[in-house]
Amino acid sequence: MDGGDGTVRLGALNLKAGRGLDLDPDVSVSSPVTRQKAAAAKQFIENHYKNYLQGLQERKERRRALQRRAEEAQISSEEQEEMMRNLERRETEYMRLQRRKIGIDDFEQLTVIGKGAFGEVRLCRAKSTGEIFAMKKLKKSEMLSRGQVEHVRSERNLLAEVDSRCIVKMFYSFQDSDFLYLIMEYLPGGDIMTLLMREDILSEDVARFYVAESILAIHSIHQHNYIHRDIKPDNLILDRNGHLKLSDFGLCKPLDGKYSTILLEDEDLTSMESTNEAEVQSRSERAPWLMPKEQLQQWKRNRRALAYSTVGTLDYMAPEVLLKKGYGMECDWWSLGAIMYEMLIGYPPFCSDDPRITCRKIINWRTCLKFPEEPKVSAEAKDLICHLLCDVETRLGTRGVEELKVSTFNDI
């Protein structure tokens, strides 16, 4: 029934133009159960249309961003049209999959293959096809309490936009009352962290291959204006043929509050270089560099547990990120330099069992970046590492990926 104020009355519900559903508080005939159900229906309808409109807006923004990048790159109109068609195809496929209402009951859960700060990763089998996937199972209460919802959305946006053989693919996402599920491509080769734990160090030829593939993978997301911010060995995954793919976009943890408390309490990080140089220098005179041998072995034993903890690791983080200065895509190239060092030396360049010391070493990289006498590393490899672990202004990759591809160590 239509009221004089433009309100449409449907039983105990009021529908007003330009507003959501209003529950009539004066309806005495409604029981508490009825009012509760009406409130739930109101919330469901509002959430449905809010999510629909938000998804529509995000698709428009992704299309505009792609058009802008294509114009800036001065791509031909034919190539631009092809890029738009590819984006629309991926968006349509994603929406089609979403409408299928895939849920946890469509998969047989198998063995756990990894654990993280917010959940676990396990193998699963699609009951309809028998296809094997990796299921990332994330506890929603933890994600909400630690402000990770936007990071999940970032990952979904990147995976919808970037179509690259260098990126781990996501096929489905859904949720229940307790968990968020991401059904990902399963890569049976394990991660680079596992490889390094098994091999300790890699030959320069093997390291060159993985560094080159890492450059291509990182560049593939930089092309779409994404910064990974969490490049580390356990986010570099190997497929069945030994090729490398990049994972964990948007789920990377920002600098944790625990670190902020530990590192910044009663200390000024920006003045570390002057106030702590003597302390750092005295540590650097120990062998192996900056860390007693027993502590180094302990760090290696604990590295997987640390990677799975809510604290995580600072070992691969760029100084400008630690100092919370403005930073760009260059921070990912620093992380690659730290990983390359570990591949050839056996441990990251600034590792410590104390995150405060790790932070100080990274910020004082000019003093702390050293190469031990053993194992031997070529001059070309040292040169590339030193041009990645350096100031942003002189860091390779700052002026484009080509200068990394043609370095004397890579020559991709």
Annotated binding site for ATP: 136
Which pair of structure tokens corresponds to residue 157?
């946006």
3-state secondary structure the chain: CECCCCEEEECCEEEECCCCEEECCCCCCCCHHHHHHHHHHHHHHHHHHHHHHHHHHHHHHHHHHHHHHHHHCCCCHHHHHHHHHHHHHHHHHHHHHHHCCCCHHHEEEEEEEEECCCEEEEEEEECCCCCEEEEEEEEHHHHHHCCCHHHHHHHHHHHHHCCCCCECCEEEEEECCCEEEEEECCCCCCEHHHHHHHHCCCCHHHHHHHHHHHHHHHHHHHCCCCCCCCCCHHHEEECCCCCEEECCCCCCCCCCHHHHHHHHCCCCHHHHHHHCHHHHHHHHCCCCCCCCHHHHHHHHHHHHHHHHCCCCCCCCCCHHHHCCCCCCCHHHHHHHHHHHHHHHHCCCCCCCCCHHHHHHHHHCHHHHCCCCCCCCCCHHHHHHHHCCCCCHHHCCCCCCCHHHHCCCCCCC
Q: What distance in Å separates the CA atoms of residue 381 and residue 367, rounded to the nearest whole number?
A: 19
Is 248 catalytic? The answer is: no
What separation, in Å, do the N-terminal and C-terminal C-alpha atoms of the chain show? 72
Residues making up the annotated binding site are: 136
Residue 143's contacts (CB-CB under 8 Å, 6 or more residues apart) are: 118, 149, 152, 180
Choosing from 230, 234, 248, 315, which is the catalytic residue? 230
- Catalytic residues, by residue number, are 230
